[in-house]
Amino acid sequence: MFGIPDLIALVISAFIILPVVVFLRQSGYLLMSLILGVKNPRLTVGSGTRIIKIGLFDIRKYYHLYSWFSYDSLKRQGKIAYIALYASPILLNTVVAITLNAMVANGMFEERATFFNRFVFYAFYFVLFDVIPMKTANGMPNNGLIIYEMLRYGKRTDFNDEPFLPSTSEVEEQYHEDVEKIEELKEHQKDQIEEEQENSNISKTEEREIKEEIEKDKQDNKEDLEEIKKQRKEQLEEYEDNKPD
């Protein structure tokens, strides 16, 4: 049965273990690209609005959802360079997972063995789906398929024109465009709210004027009625005075 301990384990996995494993995977790209001579590298952690940008790292609001590496160009290009680049996340996750697994097996982290066993599990999970050659969403090849194609054909042979790793300049430009659209949307929503409030105030003013006019009509009718009563009373008194004895 799924209980409280399982819920706690799920939260820890979703908000701590998985983000760290994904960060390590993307760090593999970063480390190898620095060796190959990269231009404008960046490791974006999470998605959503930017919290802070420090050097090569771009920290976003929803850190746990997604992380990715981007760059503009490599100084060293060629089959071996690209094979090394796409193999780097596999190698880094494998090295970290094997190291942690060996440390746990030798009695280290006994009090946190469950945590590190789960960490090793997710690290090998990503390694597995990186190593096995396959196509993912929109026909995009994974790391294993790109490495296979580079070894066999010396290039990518899929029909997807999108780059496997995005350009940092394009990512930054797209981010600023998205921010501008969000600001425009917020401004539009603000204008709509102000317009609705203004219309609401106008409606309230009109309603108040109508009520005042009704009250005024009531008062006028009341005064007219009092005047009629007064005239009838005077007529009655005059009649009584003129009535023959």
Q: How many whole angstroms separate alpha carbon 17 and alpha carbon 112?
A: 13
Instruction: Enter the tokens of residue 35.
Output: 């060796």
Asked whether the beta carbons of 19 and 67 are under 8 A apart, the reply is yes
3-state secondary structure string across the chain: CCCHHHHHHHHHHHHHHHHHHHHHHHHHHHHHHHHHCEECCEEEEEEEEEEEEECCEEEEEEEEEEEEEECCEECCCCHHHHHHHHHHHHHHHHHHHHHHHHHHHCCCCHHHHHHHHHHHHHHHHHHHHHHCCCECHHHCECHHHHHHHHHHCCCCCCCCCCCCCCCHHHHHHHHHHHHHHHHHHHHHHHHHHHHHHHHHHHHHHHHHHHHHHHHHHHHHHHHHHHHHHHHHHHHHHHHHHHCCC
Asked whether the beta carbons of 67 and 22 are under 8 A apart, the reply is yes
pLDDT at 203: 67
Q: For 104-126, what is each residue's pLDDT tens digit?
A: 999 888 888 999 999 999 999 99
Q: How far is CA 243 from the centre of its chain?
A: 96
* Amino acid in the structure at residue 127: V
Q: Which residues partner with 59 through β-bridges?
A: 45, 52
pLDDT at 109: 86
Q: What is the mean pLDDT of each run of 10 residues along the chain (245 residues)?
A: 88 93 94 92 91 92 87 88 93 96 91 92 95 87 91 77 80 84 84 76 71 77 69 62 58
Q: How many whole angstroms separate alpha carbon 18 and alpha carbon 66?
A: 10
pLDDT at 66: 83
Residue showing tokens 């004027």:
209
Q: For 147-159, what is each residue's pLDDT tens digit?
A: 999 898 888 766 6
